[in-house]
Amino acid sequence: MTAYVVPVLFLIVLIASLLKKKDAYSYFIDGSRSAIDLMVGVFPYLMTVMMCVQIFRATGVSAAVSSFIAPVFELLGLPKQLTELLLLRPLSGAGSLAILDNIYATYGADTFIGRCASLIYGSSETVFYVSAIYLSQSKTKKLRYALPVALVSTLLGCIIGCALLRVL
């Protein structure tokens, strides 16, 4: 079903440009051109964070911190095996996807832990990455209360979602 979304969207826009007699080819090129500039601005943020997350996991600090704060998450109704996922999800999409894969392999995709992990990954975003990237081209540098709000809301969503998983 979702596979239809992209071709339909492109067809609508191309047909609209035909009807309006606009040169779709040159507009598309103009748009694509800005991709490189965008990445030049975004790349330093990507690299700095991903380097940090990688060494944080590779040295085992990530796992150690997770086991330390696991009781807190357990108290909130989140399985303690998912602490590392919850911790790294806001920081790195690739890093937390590797953890998700590991959880499926260890505990199984259809167990409560597996379903809970799917919900946590699926209902949240890489909060830090999104905020760094969104600000990368703007004069605004300080986000004030945006990050705490985003993190708290995401965590509350996960807690409620996992509670629902027990009944649904």
Restricted to residues 77-136, the positions that interact with another protein (CB under 8 A) are: 94, 97, 100-101, 104-105, 108-110, 114-115, 118-119, 121-125, 127-128, 130-136
Computed from CA positions of residues 105, 85, 114, 71, in that sequence, does the dihedral angle turn out positive or negative?
positive
Residue with token string 């009781």:
71
Position 8 contacts another protein (CB under 8 A):
no
Choosing from 11, 22, 71, 72, the residue that interacts with another protein (CB under 8 A) is 22
Site for another protein in 31-60 (CB under 8 A): 31-32, 34-36, 38-39, 41-43, 46-60
Amino acid at 11: L
Choosing from 4, 11, 24, 70, the residue that interacts with another protein (CB under 8 A) is 24
Choosing from 4, 7, 14, 80, the residue that interacts with another protein (CB under 8 A) is 14
**Closest residue by Cα to residue 141 from 47, 45, 39, 37:** 45
Position 68 contacts another protein (CB under 8 A):
no
SS3 letters for 88-111? HCCCCHHHHHHHHHHHHHHHCCCC
